[in-house]
Amino acid sequence: MTATPEALLQSGAGAIAAAVREGKVRSRTMVEASFARAAEVDAGPSGLNCILSADLNGSLQLVESAPVGGALAGVPVVLKDNIATTMLSTSCGSKILEGYVSPYESTVARKLREAGAILVGKGNMDEFAMGSSTEFSAYGPARNPIDRTRVPGGSSGGSAASVAAGIVPIALGSETGGSVRQPAAFCGIVGVKPTYGRISRFGLVAFASSLDNIGVFGRTVDDAARAMEVVSGDDTANDATSAPLDAPALRTDSRDLTGVVIGRPKEYFPASLPTAMQAHCDRALDALRARGAEIRDVSLPHTDLALPVYYIIAPAECSANLARFDGVRYGLRVEGEGLRGMYEATRSRGFGAEVTRRILLGTYVLSAGYYDAYYRKAMDVRALIARDFTDVWASGVHALFTPTTAAPAFTIGAISDPYEMYLCDLFTVSANLAEVPAMSIPIGRVGGLPVGGQVIAPRFGEQVMFRIAYALESELGGAAHA
């Protein structure tokens, strides 16, 4: 019996692509089913508000030229609204780029298109990716499909929510300090941050260039693996930071972890970690042991410095990158008294409070007299954080397991203190600073809300990371959602 389009959306990217290749369903039908699901859950005062822009006719036109034999044939996808597409606008969740349509296509958008995937929308996000809840979007907060009074995480919350709500089986986000893994944990799906350089950033609007990555969301580990295989790979012609490596083969039928050593870093399991979170992590570690892995206690001694280091480096780089949004070349332009007045009026009206806060902080730490004391010192400590990981790998550990977040999704509006919001990145920023791959996988629920476990691997160690993720997902089964 042929599965319905609605059932295929729930079954995942592999099932959709196979059905399209075998002629059991048309790509057009899958696109229409995706839009129907979005209409059901996304719009209105109580809707998820996870999609900022969409165009059914435009998506159906893409179907006409999409290869039906591709790895993602007929698979509807959502891209975060800071990833350039020529069909839909790229606003970065900001008024300063409202309605802006890129004249060129990002590498990841091109690769998805060539694999047969169909863009159906751009995901809501914290403005310019600066936030941990998608409450800082200029177009209103996104909501968590599990509990609409809660945030979906951020800054890629719209992309995560679109997957968790069944609008699409895969979506792309961006990561600077945890903006894929944290929303994945909050929404009960899989989120992957690759090694820095594994996925081309050509067409990603820059936030902090030494930290930014494009990442992948999937309903399952297999969905995420399929998307990663398509969008990874050498793009040095367009992105100088792209690694000259072919896309790795990440899908595997093996669930055996015999010979794999997984580290449990003590710094990620403080006494303050809630008992319920600790219990879910312990169960996940037991599941990995059951598949043959050895669990070993390890230490990453500079972990407590990661958050302050991140919140020096990221704002500093953001202040430089966002200087281009001045009302002269593109985007919003507000006239003022003279050139300086135009700059001030445009940026004051175009940028929200959180973006303004980070620009000011970054400008301060880069200013004369403070550069050495803050930015240079932060870069020195960043090297120590990276060395912690290198030392652990050298000891024979193949990967690490930690909680993704210390708690499940919080209520919309519950956090007003910026510092408290920054603490949401506590367990995720180190992987960005060290440029290593990491992913979040559902491991259970606390108070009915999803929580995630994080697997971290050495640079370009995505294969062992996915091998562990497949085994963990298989062993936990329904327990991951209980």
Query: Which amino acid belongs to residue 441?
Result: I
The pLDDT of residue 76 is: 98
Q: Is omega for the bond preceding 162 within 30 degrees of 0, making it cis? A: no
CA distances from 186 to 40, 157, 227, 426, 452 (A): 21, 9, 21, 15, 7
Query: Which amino acid belongs to residue 175?
Result: E
Which is catalytic among the residues 179, 242, 319, 440?
A: 179
Q: Which among 15, 14, 343 has a CA at the least distance from the CA of 4?
A: 15
- Is 80 noted as a catalytic residue in this protein? yes
Residues facing 456 on adjacent strands? 400, 438
The pLDDT of residue 3 is: 87
SS3 of residue 294 by DSSP: strand
Outline which parts of the chain fall under CATH 3.90.1300.10.
5-231
- Domain 5-231, architecture per CATH: Alpha-Beta Complex (3.90)
Q: 149 and 179 in contact (C-beta within 8 Å)?
A: no
CA atoms of 184 and 164, how far apart (whole Å):
9
The pLDDT of residue 44 is: 87
Instruction: Give percent helix, percent strand, percent coil of the chain, each to the nearest 5.
Output: 45, 15, 45
Percent of the chain with pLDDT over 90: 96
CA atoms of 438 and 451, how far apart (whole Å):
16
Q: CA-based angle 219:220:226, to the nearest 5?
A: 100
Q: 428 and 314 in contact (C-beta within 8 Å)?
A: no
CA distances from 223 to 77, 117, 174, 231, 463 (A): 11, 13, 17, 13, 15
- Is 155 noted as a catalytic residue in this protein? yes
| DSSP conformation class of 134 | S
Buried b / exposed e along 191-224 (16+ C-beta atoms within 10 A): bbbbbbbbbbbbbbbbbbebbbbbbbbbbbbbbb
The pLDDT of residue 480 is: 77
The pLDDT of residue 55 is: 98
Which is catalytic among the residues 155, 156, 174, 232?
A: 155
**Please, what are the averages of pLDDT over each run of 10 residues along the chain (482 residues)?**
88 97 97 98 94 98 95 98 97 97 97 98 98 98 98 98 98 98 98 98 98 98 98 98 98 97 98 97 98 98 97 97 92 93 94 96 93 95 98 98 98 94 95 98 97 98 98 89 72
Which is catalytic among the residues 27, 34, 53, 80?
A: 80
The pLDDT of residue 330 is: 84
